[in-house]
Amino acid sequence: MQIIQHVKSDSAIKLLGDPTRLEILRILIAREASLSQIGSTINIHPARVRHHIKLLEKEGLVELVSVQMEKNYLVKYYRATANMFVVNMAVLSEPPEDDHLVVLASDDPALNFLVARLNSKMGGNYVYTLPVGSLDALIYLKENFSDIAGCHLYDIATGEYNVPYVQHLFSDQTMAIVKFVDRQQGFYVKKGNPQNISGLKDLLRNDVKFKNRKRGTGTRLWIDQQLKQLNIKYDAISISTPDAPTHSDVAKAVDIGLATTGIGVMSIAQSFDLDFIPLFSEQFDLVMREETYLSSRFEPVIEILKDQLFKELIIKMGGYSVEKMGQVKLI
C-alpha cells in the first residue's frame, strides 16, 4: 500500500467527482471492508457498491485484498491502494506566471476578500485561489502545487494551531506562518434557534440532523477531536450526507432544511440570514516557504495586511479579530 498516490488521469478525476465513490474510497483508506460493510456504512445496496468498486478498481484506486468464507458465502474484502490520494484540481484561466501567486486554502470569506483586493490592486489575476481543506492545502504546498496554504488546524496535544502540522510536513525546510485572522466558528441554526441547540451533546437528539464537513478540513478535525473527548460516536448522530466541502454548503443545507445545524464561520451565517451559536475561536494563518515570504511577489500581500481600512472592513464582516494580522513566525 502506497503512502501517497497522485491521481492524474482525467478519467480518475472524473470518477472521484461522484460523492458516493469518494466516500467509498475514504472508507477503504481507513480500513479493509466488504461490499456489505460499505453498503451498511453509507446506506446503499451492496449491488450498487459493487458497481462503484469495479470502477475504482479499474482506475487502480482500490484493490481486492482477501476472499473469506463467511456463513457458507465467499466474501471479498477491498482496500484503497494508498493512504492518501492527491488530486491536482486547479483549473486556471492561463498558466500562472512567476509574478503571480497560487493560494490553496480553507474556505473563508475574509480570505476571498483579501484575494479580491489583491487582484484589484495589481490590475488582474494576480492571485489564483481554490478552496480545499486545511490539511489538503498543506499537502498541495508540500507537493509544489501552490505558493501559499491557508489553514486552521488545531493540535489537541499542544493546544497550538498550524505550527505542529507545518513542522511535521516541512521538517527539512524553513517555513513562514503569517497571521491572518482569528475567527469564530459555531452552529448555524434557523432564525430563533427553534431546536434550542447550544452544544455538541445536542447532536445526539432525535430531532437534530447534523451537516458535517469533509475530512481534511480544519473544521472537521476540530469536530472529530471534540466528539472523541465527549465520547460521542458518529453512529449515534443523525448525519445529513454527503459531507460539506465548504462553510457555505453547510449553511445552505441548514437554510433549505436538509440539516438542522452544522458548524462554520460567523460571516457565512449572516449571508444566509441564519442565527449563529458561537462554539470556539481559531487561528487562520497563511503558510508558505521562507523564500516566498521574502519574495517581491508577497510584498503586495503584506501591504494590504497592514492597511487599516482593510482591517476595519474585515471586522465589519463579523466574527473576525485582526489584532495579529500580518505578524510572521519562521519555523
- Is 206 a residue whose pLDDT tops 70? yes
Kindly list the distances between the CA atom of residue 130 and the CA atoms of 138, 145, 202, 258, in Å, as whole numbers in the listed order.
13, 11, 33, 26
In this predicted structure, what is the pLDDT of residue 76? 95
**Distance in angstroms (rounded) separating the CA atoms of residues 291 and 285:** 17
Identify which has the larger pLDDT, 129 or 303: 303
- Is 99 a residue whose pLDDT tops 90? no
Domain interval for residue 44 = 2-86
- Is 276 a residue whose pLDDT tops 80? yes
User: Which of 58, 86, 114 marks a domain boundary?
Assistant: 86
| Shared-domain flag, residues 222 and 278 | yes
> Does the pTM exceed 0.85?
no
**Distance in angstroms (rounded) separating the CA atoms of residues 34 and 75:** 7
| Shared-domain flag, residues 116 and 75 | no
Q: In this structure, are strands 261-265 and 210-211 parallel, antiparallel, or unpaired?
A: parallel
Residues 197-223 have a mean pLDDT of: 95
**Distance in angstroms (rounded) separating the CA atoms of residues 7 and 12:** 7
| Shared-domain flag, residues 99 and 42 | no
Distance from the first to the final alpha carbon of the chain: 32
- Is 90 a residue whose pLDDT tops 70? no
In this predicted structure, what is the pLDDT of residue 106? 80
| Shared-domain flag, residues 133 and 70 | no
| Shared-domain flag, residues 253 and 296 | yes
- Looking at the structure of the chain, the number of domains it has is 2
User: Which of 86, 102, 124 marks a domain boundary?
Assistant: 86
| Shared-domain flag, residues 235 and 112 | yes
Contact between 139 and 169 (Cβ < 8 Å): yes
pLDDT in tens, 23-67: 999 999 989 999 999 999 999 999 999 999 999 999 999 999 999
| Shared-domain flag, residues 293 and 213 | yes
Q: What percent of the chain has pLDDT over 70?
A: 95
- Is 8 a residue whose pLDDT tops 90? no
- Is 233 a residue whose pLDDT tops 80? yes
Question: Which candidate, 121, 137, 40, 168, places its Cα nearest to that of 302?
Answer: 121
Mean of pLDDT over the chain: 92
- pLDDT confidence bin for 93, thresholds 50/70/90: very low
Contact between 183 and 265 (Cβ < 8 Å): yes
Q: No. of H helices and E strands in the chain?
A: 13, 16
Residues 318-326 have a mean pLDDT of: 97
- pLDDT confidence bin for 88, thresholds 50/70/90: low
pLDDT in tens, 62-87: 999 999 999 888 999 999 998 878 77
- Is 283 a residue whose pLDDT tops 60? yes
- pLDDT confidence bin for 18, thresholds 50/70/90: confident
| Shared-domain flag, residues 26 and 165 | no
Amino acid at 306: K
CA 168 to chain centre: 19
Give me the CATH number covering residue 65. 1.10.10.10
| Shared-domain flag, residues 111 and 24 | no
- Is 257 a residue whose pLDDT tops 70? yes
| Shared-domain flag, residues 36 and 55 | yes
User: Which of 63, 86, 109 marks a domain boundary?
Assistant: 86
CA dihedral (316, 319, 322, 327) positive or negative:
negative
Helices (H), the chain: 10-15, 19-30, 35-42, 46-58, 109-122, 134-142, 163-169, 218-229, 247-255, 266-271, 290-294, 299-305, 308-317
Identify which has the larger pLDDT, 30 or 94: 30
**Distance in angstroms (rounded) separating the CA atoms of residues 168 and 157:** 14
- Is 125 a residue whose pLDDT tops 50? yes
- Any idea how long the chain is? 331
| Shared-domain flag, residues 167 and 224 | yes
pLDDT in tens, 131-167: 888 988 998 899 888 999 999 999 988 999 999 999 9
| Shared-domain flag, residues 57 and 190 | no
- Is 108 a residue whose pLDDT tops 70? yes
Residues 209-231 have a mean pLDDT of: 94
Give me the CATH number covering residue 119. 3.40.190.290
